[in-house]
């Protein structure tokens, strides 16, 4: 049985991080931080697959990254993550965990009283598919556009998140939160593309999400994001940028002359 699926991460201002699986309707969870949401996703995927198996339901094969991005409900998603379900439990382990949870203070605080036998039986009924209004998604940009690239997100324990574009060497961005990093990445991508154009360098066409997942650096990534560069600047701004770069290059060439360097 497959136990690794790609999920979408969404985040609205003031809300938790939501995670859901396009292949598994009803398999959704959330966390107050990106890390917590990813860990919760492993647990909810395990529980969902167990429920389908016990109900003799057909378990679909995992979709590839391109197909997940093309899902009609992939909206307001800020990232893709690869989720491996927690290890499969034996029926005895599942029952023991359930009984421990029912007897816990956490359960009493949330639900008040233990579940009845009928309520326990209902725990194994398939979850309903989330309503469209509950998700409120819009399509994620496709990587075929010339200013839209797939990028890898790497998490540093002390410094937040770093984004890198496998197609564009040297194009990176960082932020303290995932959503901040996604926004900063748009500006970094725009500046990088402008720099390539100013220098007359060849701009590599965007790779599909599947190819980015197969990049060697993906082994350390916690997520994949699709980044659309900020709008191109006006011709006047581009001309000013070109002039500035020319002056800067001239200054660097003659940096040994203090008078010229100071004037520039």
Bridge partners of 19?
A: 9, 29
pLDDT of residue 217: 86
pLDDT in tens, 157-199: 777 899 999 999 999 999 888 888 888 898 899 899 988 888 8
Q: Which CATH architecture has domain 4-135?
A: 2-Layer Sandwich (3.30)
Domains 4-135 and 148-232 share a fold: yes
Structure tokens that stand for 58 in this block: 């057909």
More confident residue, 241 or 118: 118
Domain with residues 148-232, CATH architecture: 2-Layer Sandwich (3.30)
pLDDT for the residue 166: 92
pLDDT for the residue numbered 234: 57
Structural domain spans, the chain: 4-135, 148-232, 239-264
**What is the model's pTM?**
0.64
3-state secondary structure of 157: coil
Q: What is the mean pLDDT of residues 93-116?
A: 64
Per-residue pLDDT reduced to its tens digit, 204-239: 888 888 888 888 888 889 898 888 888 876 565 556
β-bridge partners, 79: 9
CA separation for the pair 229, 171 (Å, rounded): 12
DSSP E strand boundaries for the chain: 4-11, 17-20, 28-31, 77-84, 148-156, 160-164, 172-175, 223-228
Q: Residues 224, 181: contact at Cβ < 8 Å?
A: no
Rounded to whole angstroms, the Cα distance separating 65 from 45 reads: 17
Residue carrying the six token digits 């990813």: 38
């Amino acid at each position: 049985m497959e136990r690794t699926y790609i999920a979408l991460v969404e985040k609205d201002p003031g809300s938790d991080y939501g995670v859901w699986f396009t292949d598994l309707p009803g398999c959704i969870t959330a966390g107050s931080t990106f890390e917590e949401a990813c860990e919760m996703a492993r647990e909810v995927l395990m529980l969902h697959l167990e429920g389908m198996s016990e109900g003799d339901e057909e378990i679909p094969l995992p979709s590839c990254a391109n197909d997940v991005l093309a899902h009609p409900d992939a909206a307001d998603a800020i990232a893709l993550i690869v989720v491996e379900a927690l290890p499969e439990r034996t029926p005895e382990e599942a029952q023991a965990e359930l009984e421990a949870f029912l007897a816990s203070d956490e359960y009493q605080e949330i639900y008040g009283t233990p579940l009845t036998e009928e309520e326990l039986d209902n725990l194994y009924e398939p979850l309903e598919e989330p309503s469209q209004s509950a998700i409120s998604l819009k399509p994620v940009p496709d990587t075929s556009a010339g200013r839209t690239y797939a990028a890898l997100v790497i998490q540093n324990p002390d410094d937040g998140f770093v984004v890198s574009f496998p197609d564009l060497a040297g194009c990176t961005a960082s932020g303290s939160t995932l959503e901040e990093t996604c926004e900063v990445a748009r500006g970094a991508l725009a500046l990088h593309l402008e720099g390539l154009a100013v220098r007359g360098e060849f701009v590599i066409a965007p790779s599909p999400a599947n190819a980015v997942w197969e990049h060697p650096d993906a082994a350390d990534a916690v997520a994949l994001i699709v980044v659309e560069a900020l709008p191109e600047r006006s011709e006047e701004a581009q001309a000013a940028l070109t002039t500035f770069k020319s002056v800067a290059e001239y200054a660097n060439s003659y940096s040994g002359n203090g008078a010229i360097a100071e004037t520039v």
